[in-house]
Structure 1
Amino acid sequence: MWRTLAFRLTAGYALAGLFLVTFAIVSLYLVLVGELEKSTDLFLADKVHVLRTMLRERPDDQDALREEIELESAARQYEHFYIRLIDDRNTPVLMTPGMADQLDLAQLAKRTQLHPGRTVRMRGRDGHDFRVTGVSAPVGASATQSDTVQIAIDVSQKQELLARYRFWFWVILLATFVIFPLVGYQIARHGIRPVEEMATTARHISSTNLRERILPEGYPFELASLAGTFNQMLDRLEESFKRISRFSADIAHDLRTPVNNIRGEAEVALVRARSADEYRDVIESCLEEAVRLSDLIGDLLFLGRAESPLTDLRRELVDVGELLGRVLEYYEASAADGEVSLTKAVAGERVVAELDRALMQRAVGNLVSNALAHTPPGGAVVLGTSVEASMIHIFVSDTGAGIPAEALPRVFDRFFRVDSSRSQGLGGTGLGLAIVQSIAVLHGGKAEISSLPGQGTRVTLHIPIDCAAATKCDADMQLASSPK
């Protein structure tokens, strides 16, 4: 149980509450003790001042001294005080009645002599606590002699007050020890209820049920933010599962089609005896389907490797214009057969960057192949590149049929075809643009597409480069290729 969040929060609340209550009560107790002692000391100091004044200004007024020493204390019901006046020959002159019964006068004289002018504690004969002090008081204006004034005040009432305070301190502390854990537990349970609801929602989620969502209304800001993030994760998972389902269905269809074609051709060929030319046609047809199946498997394996976090690029300094030129040369014959103009447009200085040459040629080749396949005779396909700050842009544009706006968000998905029947007729598998996007991502960039139906399509690869200036990269490449 001690491992649960509710227990830890409850323990934290309870300990914090106990500490604060204890600190507050102890602080108030110390303040109370200090104020009580201060009031007692002020009372004693006031009495000392009155007696000193009377002895200095009216030393012969015995009635006033007797009234101050013997009568005033007797009139008090609580907090009695006692005064003894001793002359310079150590003979008692006046003393409050009953003082000898309450205090050991010899001990009183000793303690006041050890601490002249200071207030000290002393225990009375019946166990009461006293605060006592003793000072010398000059007699008369000439101050030829001085008497000793000893004062003791009974503080047992204040001690009883402090005892009652300590009793209630322990009562409150005990109540706090019982109440705070209960209150803390309720607070903790209320605080972690949203977390429990999230856990309940998470337990209901499976590969067949990704529709569960957390309603963050009424949650604290931090938990509402967590709920929103959790819902976004579920949205991404749901979309990923949908794509995987579509991918599984598409791959099953695309693999089954060539296998069925091969099987059908073989079955038809074996129905009856055929001539050598007929068998040759069957074998050629099966070979075409086998090549198509091999290409499809190769593309799938490439995508699998490209998405692995352990995939490494074989980067080298590549002249992008030269790379585009080689791709153009490779597809010139296909363009000529389709009566499509295939040109290259490289703006500015020579563009050199660190790229994986083979992968980049494959990406650009896929784009050119798609462009040629969907551009009618008389159209044009353009390969180009440009540099902007630390980003290189490689594009392939065509004047073909274009892509509908609703299909653009999905063109980089695996096996997606804008026109399935047409793509099948052209031998497409729907993996070309997915491979292009994977290659761009491997280089730390991305692929973007723009298209207008009936006007054409433009696909651009945005690849970050390490060299800020193309000329510096060019110099590095020339140095690397120079004979040593």
Structure 2
Amino acid sequence: MKHSIAVRLAGMFALASIVGFALIGAALHHVLVRELARHQNDQITNRIADISYVLEHARSPGLGERMRQKLDALESAGPRTRVWMWSKDPAFQYGTDVSQMLGLVRDNSPGAEVDIAGNKMRLKSRTVPANDLWPEVRFAVGVDSQPFISTLHAFEKALLALTLTGTCLAAALGWWIARLGLAPVERLSADAQRVGPGNRAQRLQLPSLPRELADLGMSFNQALDRLDAAYHQLETFSDDVAHELRTPLANLIGQTQVTLARERDAGELREVLQSNLEELERLRAIVADMLFLARAEQGAKARSRVDASIADEVGKTVEFLDVLLDDARMTVEVRGDATAPIETSLFRRALTNLLHNAIQHSTGGAEIRVEIVKAADHARVRITNPSAPIAPEQLARLFDRFYRVDTSRPNSGENHGLGLAIVKAVAAMHRGEVFAEYADGRATIGFSVSLN
């Protein structure tokens, strides 16, 4: 089971808090240990300085006895402070196990921790040289470390409690912040869930989204627009396919039923079969064109491309349509030329469809003009012919499958409305595009191919 983003962010906040508290705690712990040790050493150093001053500057013959009294007072005043003193003169000997204690530390050492009767003590010693009144005296001062250790343990417990509490608070705060920050995402999700087949016009409310999600919302709305257009096109395509297939199928069924209604001679049967063959050829053409468009929409590219003269290809296509042009008393004028990498069979198919379209929708005796324009990265083929007025909204749909500007035009039933859609597919397979214009009683329809 995957956790929500809010839970993940809360966990990240908690982890970051643990790391932060751990680093800060380690630094504070290090500082506290160092400061406690320094405080102990300062206490020991002060005691050593006091004792050394007396031993170095006093001249009284009874100094040994006075020193023992002073050390008794010092230990009784501060039970956590111990002093040991040793000398060849018994008057300057103080404390139990003096030799052992003095052996644990060296003169002017920074302080060593030893275990004395179950208590940890920090010791430091010093030697006062002999003078004319008494021999060399060595002494050590120890301070009980237990209060410092207790302080350190209390700090560690407080730090642990603070870390756990701070981590929980950071996790809770992180979860709350994440929930608050993800509220626009939840609104985005709610808007998206309302989009459905019966509510395709529903879109995300962009003004209510923060800036970081506005681009995502806009992209999502654009994707919905494309899906809506594709859905609408699919609905229209299904209707158009059913309509286009229904007519030849109805013709086939009707003619066959009429033929079977009574006895027919061989000549009549041959005529019916000939008529049925024409309808079957039309069905085959529709199916073949639909399969070609399906492959093109799946991303098929023109693979067998060769550098060829576009004017030559136009000439070969015009020659192929020579009979149709003669019947319509039309001529074709070719202007310009360009060499482009094309798959000649696909290119000629697009030219054939465009020229056939121009022949069908022009009056007899008109001239069709083919212009070839070369640009920096593409070549354009423009086919212009006299035409009845075409509205701008109709120009935008000329390359849709099964679309006809006017189904009442002559010969509109002889084609199935896929010719210009195939032109668009061929252009896309050559990394080009299609275009359609109408001005001054002439329609210009064409396509481009990439030169790269």
TM-score (norm 1): 0.76
Q: State the partner residue of 2:346.
A: 359
Which digits, 9 at most, give the CA deviation of each residue in 1:267-306, with x for residues without a partner? 6677789999998887766555444333323321221233
The residue that corresponds to 1:456 in the other structure is 442
Equivalent residue number for residue 306 of structure 1: 296
Given candidates 113, 117, 128, the residue that maps to 2:109 is: 117
CA distance in structure 2 between the partners assigned to 1:37 and 1:201 by the alignment: 65
Q: What is aligned with 2:227?
A: 237
- Residue 295 of structure 1 corresponds to 285
**Separation in structure 2 between the aligned mates of residue 220 and residue 204 of structure 1, nearest angstrom:** 20
Sequence identity (%): 26
TM superposition shift of 1:436 = 0.8
Q: What is the identity, as a one-letter code, of the residue corresponding to 2:59? A: D
Q: Encode CA deviations 1:164-218: one digit per residue, 9 max, x unaligned.
A: 2233234335545765655555556556666666666666655555445444666
Amino acid at match of 2:151: L
Tell me how far 1:463 sits from its aligned partner.
1.9
In structure 2, distance between residues paired with 1:185 and 1:345: 71
- What amino acid does structure 2 have at the position aligned with 1:26? A
How large is the RMSD of aligned CA atoms in angstroms?
4.2
The code of the aligned residue for 2:417 comes to G
Out of 229, 232, 249, the position equivalent to 1:259 is 249
CA distance in 2, matches of 1:423, 1:107: 127
Q: 1:52 to 1:373 in 2, by over 3 A?
A: farther
Pick closer, same or farther for the CA change 1:59–1:86 going to 2, 3 Å: farther
Query: What is the correspondence of 1:157-176 to structure 2 with a 5 Å cutoff?
Result: 157-175=147-165
Write the letter of the residue equivalent to 1:446. G
Matches of 1:255 and 1:265 in 2, distance apart?
16
CA apart distance, 1:84: 4.7
Equivalent in the alignment of 2:127? 136
Aligned length: 449
Given that residues 403 and 452 in structure 1 are in contact (C-alpha distance below 8 angstroms), is that contact kept between their aligned partners in structure 2? yes
Structure 1 distance, partners of 2:198, 2:311, is 50
Matched, 1:323 2:313: yes
CA contact (8 A) 1:55 1:138 kept: no
Cα deviation for residue 119 of structure 1 reads: 0.5
Q: How does 1:391-430 map to 2 (within 5 A)?
A: 391-401=378-388, 403-422=390-409, 425=412, 427-430=414-417
SS at match of 1:410: coil
Give the drift of 1:163.
2.2
Deviations 1:374-410 (A, max 9, x none): 2334543222334333433333233433532222332
Who is 1:470 aligned against?
none
The residue type paired with residue 129 of structure 1 is K
Is the contact made by 2:407 and 2:413 (CA closer than 8 Å) also made in structure 1? no
- For residue 246 of structure 1, report the CA deviation from its aligned partner: 0.7
Distance 1:90 1:225 in 2: 94
Match of 2:24 in 1: 24
Cα deviation, residue 342, structure 1: 0.7
Compared CA separation, residues 362 and 310, structure 1 to 2 (3 A): closer
Tell me which amino acid in the other structure corresponds to 2:28. Answer: L
Out of 391, 398, 418, the residue aligned to residue 431 of structure 1 is: 418
* Greater mean deviation of Cα atoms: 356-365 or 252-261: 252-261
Deviations 1:15-45 (A, max 9, x none): 4433333333233222211111122223433
Q: Which runs of 5+ in 1 are unaligned?
A: 467-484
Deviations 1:93-132 (A, max 9, x none): 386xxxx4xx75444212124x75230113344x443221
Are residue 371 (structure 1) and residue 358 (structure 2) matched?
yes
**2-structure distance, mates of 1:366, 1:360:** 10
| Structure 2 SS opposite 1:420 | coil
The residue identity in structure 2 corresponding to 1:452 is: Y
Secondary structure class of the residue paired with 1:14: helix
Alignment partners' CA distance in 2, 1:272 and 1:156: 125
Q: Spell out, residue by residue over 1:205-238, the C-alpha distance to the aligned partner (whole angstroms, 9 max, x if none).
A: 5555544544466666555544443333222222
